[in-house]
Amino acid sequence: MNRAFSPLLYSVFAAFLAVASTAHAADDKKAPVKADPAKGEALYTNGDSARNIVACVSCHGAAGNSTITQNPKLAGQHEAYIAKQLLNFRTPDRNNPVMSPMAKALSDEDIHNVAAFLAAQAPKPGAAKNKDTIDLGKHIWRAGIAAKNVPACAGCHSPNGAGIPAQYPRLAGQHQDYTVAQLTNFRGGARTNSVQMTTISERLSDKEIKAVADYIAGLK
């Protein structure tokens, strides 16, 4: 009796698995929830007093074009990169007394909405200021420092500083003070959310960090 029904039972079970597998595959192919830049703009510009979220514009400027040199310009930054950094601020890898509480107050949806808004904004250009180090900064950016095994910054961040979406951030036009602070933080271990940048920064002197940061500010 069992032998007679075994093929039938096997067929039914196999059919069930096929249907379940198809349904699971269909779920996997569902597109993720699309970010809403309009909601991101509202939160960026106005904050949310009900959740004690301060408006981002107060520190990062209108449309992400910060005029405070210690605070990064975010206009035109890659959406995936902004989202990653905000999520990292929730962790010890990028603990920051200002940004960490802010990031923890944001929902994942908020983060992606704000990131989508900023990615669509036009960045205002910066300018290199130190003519005495411009050649050193250019050399580090374009060729690296072979003697220290420092790779060319342009290899990851692109020759014009536009970066590579979802992989490496846009750096062109960024404030010198902010770039210096981040490279120094990577070097000293205060920021640990990029193994590559920690390794590279550990090989750079203060002079080299300042030179390449100044050169970056003038990229367009």
Residue 175 annotated in ligand binding: no
Residue 153 annotated in ligand binding: yes
> Using alpha carbons only, how large is the chain's radius of gyration in Å?
24
Residue 197 annotated in ligand binding: yes
Question: Quick check: 89 and 100 in contact, CB under 8 A?
Answer: yes
DSSP-derived 3-state class of residue 195: helix
Question: Quick check: 203 and 149 in contact, CB under 8 A?
Answer: yes
DSSP string over 136-191: HHHHHHHH-BGGGTBPPTHHHH-TTS--BTTTB---TT--HHHHHHHHHHHHHTS-
Residue 60 annotated in ligand binding: yes
Distance of CA 154 to the CA centre of its chain: 17
Residues composing the chain: 220
Residue 78 annotated in ligand binding: no
Binding site per annotation, positions: 56, 59-60, 99, 153, 156-157, 197
User: What residues form the annotated binding site for heme c?
Assistant: 56, 59-60, 99, 153, 156-157, 197
